[in-house]
């Protein structure tokens, strides 16, 4: 108080307020009030013409005996002092652990959100690629059961494939397809990997075919190798592949009206697209049958020499004869003595075997029909998500045989409906082979929605049950966040005071009407949101199938809550300081900035919904403007807080928490869209979701 007053007032007030000294805040407030009274009286007496001495003496006399005042004041405040003493000790004991817990909690959320942002900048999301070990690990980690995980892992291991197929083939010796599949699995370690698909004939040879003599010389080398290396199926495999390549050719219709007479139709994925079906037919039946004969040798082969030391020499000998056949990729691998030169051979062999299988089915329509029915049955089983291990193995088997089925149905039965069904089943089984059952189910649902499957490698949408449950947890956390803002501010602020050797203060805690208004301001938007969500189902949607109304409602809810929280907190604090919060020009400017920023943000999202499907581009001017306005608002808010709350620096954390509160849904949204569009995050951006999936699996 700037007014000058006699020193005797201090002496008198020291006596009158002495019992309240145990509570510094009560003591200070009571003393301030009593001093104000004494000074008012003193000045009034001076104004009436009293001398300084008389005014001092009369004011003291009118005030009364200070010891009596002290006793009565203590009597009035006794219970309050005791309650505050208990509360203060409770806060001292509980604040530190609470603050640490909150800081850890907030830090974890900030870390997660920043990880998403960093990931969006530095990580390129890619579709599923079986060659990507990290991608495979992701799918293995998402497998709902151990069997499915093994199933996925098995796609990369020939040994696993043989282990899968051997007991099935032993139980069903009459099943030729199963026996053939076992032989293939034994013979082609790379079959189940994706490599062989990706280098199928990058460009087709235009050079003339090798002569019969050249072929005979090459095959004589292979036959000699069989003798010197008995039991190794490698040489028969090479012979079969060469013969199949020579005997099978793509079918190119001479005109649009020509009926496609095909032996086998190839449809396979490349990246995220599907190449158009390519029909093939046998151009040289004699060579084709010879190739089949060599392939049957694999059934009795003991092993395939994956080291293939003789292979390099073999290729060197064969190269002059076969160079006109080898495509660019094969030649390059040959030069490198790479065992991967098997890849084009493998494709040749597979195509030959599928054609042979199709011919067998053609001669046995009952078997083809049974296979088709079994395929449909397996599809239904898998769509229910409850196939056993054997059925999963059969599904894997039919992944191959369905290629043959569709060729048969297309070329012989001319049943396009069945062809489409088989194609769809093949795609689904393909996905089931590579992903897991839940993704497979999601694909079926998408297909049932009439959209058709354009990309079986996408996880869009991911399994609805899993993501919805996970996100409900995250959004439940968001709902609690608003309450934690106030509590966190109090806790952290108290720790700051404790660290700065300032005791816990009740001075700025809202109470009475202020506390009521603050509570209403905090809870009212949430109540409105809950009420609206009961009226509008779109607001209730959660998970990745979130709707724009829900997004906007979340922003409105959190923005309104934050705004009211700030306004009412500021008003409460200012009222305690004898000041009043009025919407004068600076505050009006603050409100306008807030509204303008929100309007731009919302309009941007409405006008450019594609930004929700991509990381926000820095070239987006509205984003810049929005960030600028938000930053301006934050700066003004901090400046205002510094000016008005300088006596309580801990409360500066309120705008910081408010900013965090506003950022959280934005980051979550980015995270969700990243998850939505990504099938294989190459960085572990979603540890919480991943852990959740593992736990539920």
Residue from 232, 224, 414 nearest 306 by CA: 232
Using the rule CB under 8 A, is 10 a contact of another protein? no
Q: Which of 11, 62, 163, 691 binds another protein (CB under 8 A)?
A: 62
Q: Please give the Cα distance from 642 to 357 (Å, whole number).
A: 81
Supply 219's token pair. Answer: 């095959």
User: Considering the complex, what minimum distance in angstroms separates the CB of residue 596 from another protein?
Assistant: 33
Work out whether 72 is an interface residue with another protein (CB under 8 A).
yes
Phi and psi torsions of 265, nearest 5°: -115, 130
Helix, coil or strand: residue 301:
coil
Question: Nearest distance from residue 4's CB to another protein, in Å?
Answer: 13
Least distance CB 600 / another protein (angstroms): 38
Task: Report how far residue 336's alpha carbon sits from residue 354's, in angstroms, rounded to the nearest whole number.
Answer: 30
First to last CA, the chain: 69
Selected binder of another protein within 63, 105, 201, 636 (CB under 8 A): 63
Residue of 577, 603, 614, 647 interacting with another protein (CB under 8 A): 577
Of 450 and 578, nearer to another protein (C-beta) is 578
Q: By three-state DSSP, how is residue 269 classified?
A: strand
Spatial distance between the Cα atoms of 662 and 598, rounded to a whole number of angstroms? 11
Binding window for another protein (CB under 8 A); candidates: 310-318, 376-384, 528-536, 576-584: 576-584
Among 66, 98, 463, 488, binds another protein (CB under 8 A): 66
**128 Cα distance to chain centroid:** 15
Phi then psi for residue 303, to 5 deg, are -165, 165
Burial (CB count within 10 angstroms: exposed 0-12, middle 13-18, buried 19+), residue 609: exposed
- Least gap, CB of 576 to another protein (angstroms): 7
Rank residues 516 and 524 by Cβ distance to another protein and give the closer one.
516
- Tell which one of 10, 24, 33, 390 touches another protein (CB under 8 A): 33
Q: Which residues contact 534 (CB under 8 A, 6 or more apart)?
A: 540
Nearer of residues 403 and 573 to another protein, judged by Cβ? 573
Half-sphere exposure of 386 (CA within 13 A, CB side): 1
Total site size for another protein, rule CB under 8 A:
36
Of the listed pieces 1-9, 269-277, 284-292, 425-433, which binds another protein according to CB under 8 A? 1-9
Please report how close the Cβ of residue 586 comes to another protein at its closest, in angstroms.
Answer: 18
- The rounded distance, in Å, linking the Cα atoms of 657 and 140 is 39
Burial 530-569 (b: 16+ CB within 10 A, else e): eebbeeeeebeebbbebeebbbebbbbbbbbbbbbbbbbb
Choose, by CB under 8 A, the member of 50, 57, 77, 359 that binds another protein. Answer: 77
73, 439, 566, 629: which one binds another protein (CB under 8 A): 73
Q: How far is the CB of 667 from another protein (least distance, A)?
A: 40
CB 681, min distance to another protein, A: 55
Report if residue 646 touches another protein, rule: CB under 8 A.
no
Compute the least distance from the CB of residue 72 to another protein, in Å.
Answer: 4
Contact between residue 263 and residue 355 where contact means Cβ atoms under 8 Å apart: yes
In the block, residue with structure tokens 């072929």: 215
Pick one of 5, 18, 28, 41: the residue that binds another protein (CB under 8 A). 41
Out of 540, 576, 587, 608, name the contact with another protein by CB under 8 A: 576
Stretch that binds another protein, among 60-68, 444-452, 605-613, 623-631 (CB under 8 A): 60-68
**Rounded least distance, CB 64 to another protein, Å:** 4
Q: Which is nearer to another protein, 72 or 324 (CB)?
A: 72
* CA-to-CA dists, residue 309 to 238, 301, 326, 386, angstroms: 14, 18, 20, 45
For another protein, which stretch binds (CB under 8 A), given 62-70, 199-207, 251-259, 556-564?
A: 62-70
Return the residues of window 224-263 that contact another protein according to CB under 8 A.
none
Which residue among 24, 54, 68, 420 contacts another protein (CB under 8 A)?
68
The distance of closest approach from Cβ of residue 486 to another protein in the complex, given in angstroms and rounded to an integer, is 22
Residue 120 Cβ vs another protein, minimum distance, rounded to whole Å: 50
Residues 6+ apart with CB under 8 A from 141: 690, 693, 694
Could you say which of 14, 21, 76, 261 contacts another protein (CB under 8 A)? 76
Question: Which one of 10, 24, 40, 54 is in contact with another protein (CB under 8 A)?
Answer: 40
Which listed residue (313, 416, 579, 646) binds another protein by CB under 8 A?
579
Shortest Cβ 563–another protein spacing (Å)? 23
Instruction: Pick the closer one to another protein by CB: 76 or 93.
Output: 76
| CB of 575 closer than 8 Å to CB of 517 | no
Give the residue among 278, 288, 296, 279 at the shortest CA–CA distance from 242. Answer: 288
- Cα–Cα–Cα angle for 558, 656, 118, rounded to 5 degrees: 85
- Residues 505 to 534: which contact another protein by CB under 8 A? 512-513
- Binding another protein (rule: CB under 8 A), the pick from 122, 124, 578, 585 is 578
Shortest spacing between CB 514 and another protein, in angstroms:
9
Half-sphere exposure of 468 (CA within 13 A, CB side): 10
Dihedral sign (CA 120, 124, 127, 132): negative
Q: Which of 80, 166, 273, 683 contacts another protein by CB under 8 A?
A: 80
The per-residue b/e assignment along 202-217, b for 16 or more CB within 10 angstroms, e otherwise, is eeeeeeeebeeebbee
Closest contact distance (angstroms) between CB of 512 and another protein is 6
Pairing relationship of beta strands 278-282 and 264-266 according to DSSP bridges: antiparallel
Applying CB under 8 A, the residues found at the interface with another protein are 1-3, 16, 30, 32-34, 36-37, 39-41, 44, 62-66, 68-69, 72-73, 75-77, 79-80, 512-513, 575-580
């Amino acid at each position: 108080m700037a007014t000058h007053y006699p020193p005797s007032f201090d002496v008198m007030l020291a006596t009158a307020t002495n019992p309240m000294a145990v509570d510094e805040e009560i003591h200070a407030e009571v003393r301030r009030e009593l001093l104000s009274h004494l000074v008012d009286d003193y000045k009034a007496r001076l104004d009436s013409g009293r001398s300084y001495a008389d005014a001092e003496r009369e004011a003291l006399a009118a005030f009364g005996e200070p010891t009596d005042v002290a006793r009565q004041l203590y009597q009035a405040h006794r219970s309050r002092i005791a309650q505050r003493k208990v509360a203060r000790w409770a806060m001292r004991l509980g604040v530190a652990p609470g603050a640490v817990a909150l800081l850890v909690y907030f830090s974890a959320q900030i870390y997660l959100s920043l990880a998403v942002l960093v990931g969006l900048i530095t990580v390129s999301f890619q579709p599923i690629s079986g060659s990507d070990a990290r991608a495979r690990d992701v799918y293995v980690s998402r497998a709902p059961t151990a069997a499915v995980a093994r199933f996925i892992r098995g796609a990369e291991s020939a040994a696993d494939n043989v282990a899968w197929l051997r007991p099935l083939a032993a139980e069903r010796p009459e099943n030729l397809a199963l026996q053939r599949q076992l032989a293939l699995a034994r013979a082609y370690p790379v079959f189940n990997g994706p490599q062989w698909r990706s280098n199928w004939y990058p460009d087709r040879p235009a050079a003339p075919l090798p002569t019969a003599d050249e072929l005979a010389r090459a095959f004589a080398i292979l036959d000699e190798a069989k003798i010197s290396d008995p039991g190794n199926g490698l040489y028969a495999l090479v012979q079969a592949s060469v013969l199949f390549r020579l005997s099978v050719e793509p079918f190119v219709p001479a005109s649009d009206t020509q009926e496609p007479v095909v032996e086998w139709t190839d449809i396979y994925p490349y990246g995220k697209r599907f190449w158009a079906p390519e029909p093939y037919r046998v151009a040289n039946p004699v060579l084709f049958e010879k190739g089949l004969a060599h392939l049957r040798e694999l059934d009795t082969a003991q092993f395939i020499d994956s080291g293939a030391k003789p292979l390099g020499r073999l290729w060197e000998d064969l190269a002059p004869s076969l160079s006109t056949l080898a495509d660019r990729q094969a030649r390059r691998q040959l030069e490198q003595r790479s065992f991967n030169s098997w890849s084009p051979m493998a494709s040749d062999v597979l195509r030959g075997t599928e054609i042979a299988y199709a011919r067998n089915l053609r001669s046995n329509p009952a078997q083809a029909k049974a296979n088709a029915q079994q395929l449909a049955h397996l599809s239904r089983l898998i769509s229910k998500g409850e196939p056993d291990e054997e059925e999963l193995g059969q599904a894997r088997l039919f992944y191959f045989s369905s290629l043959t089925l569709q060729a048969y149905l297309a070329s012989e039965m001319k049943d396009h409906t069945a062809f489409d069904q088989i194609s769809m089943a093949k795609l689904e089984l393909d996905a089931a082979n590579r992903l897991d059952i839940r993704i497979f189910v999601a694909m079926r649902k998408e297909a049932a929605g009439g959209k058709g499957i354009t990309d079986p490698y996408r996880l869009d949408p991911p399994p609805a049950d899993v993501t919805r449950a996970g996100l409900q947890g995250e959004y439940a956390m968001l709902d609690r966040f608003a309450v934690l803002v106030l509590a966190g501010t109090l806790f952290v602020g108290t720790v700051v005071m404790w660290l700065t050797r300032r005791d816990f203060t009740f001075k700025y805690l809202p109470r009475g009407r202020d506390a009521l208004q603050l509570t209403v301001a905090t809870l009212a938007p949430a109540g409105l949101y809950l009420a609206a969500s009961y009226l509008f189902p779109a607001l209730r949607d959660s998970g990745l199938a979130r709707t724009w109304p829900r997004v906007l409602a979340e922003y409105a809810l959190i923005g309104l809550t934050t705004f009211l929280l700030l306004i009412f907190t500021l008003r409460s604090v200012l009222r305690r300081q004898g000041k009043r919060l009025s919407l004068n020009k600076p505050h009006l400017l603050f409100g306008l900035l807030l509204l303008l920023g929100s309007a731009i943000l919302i309009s941007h999202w409405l006008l450019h919904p594609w930004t929700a499907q991509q990381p926000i581009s820095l070239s987006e001017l509205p984003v810049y403007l929005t960030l600028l306005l938000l930053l301006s608002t934050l700066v003004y808010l901090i400046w205002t807080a510094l000016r008005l709350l300088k006596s309580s620096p801990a409360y500066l954390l309120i705008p910081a928490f408010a900013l965090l509160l506003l950022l959280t849904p934005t980051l979550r949204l980015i995270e969700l869209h990243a998850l939505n569009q990504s099938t294989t995050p190459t960085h572990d951006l979603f540890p919480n979701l991943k852990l959740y999936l593992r736990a539920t699996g």
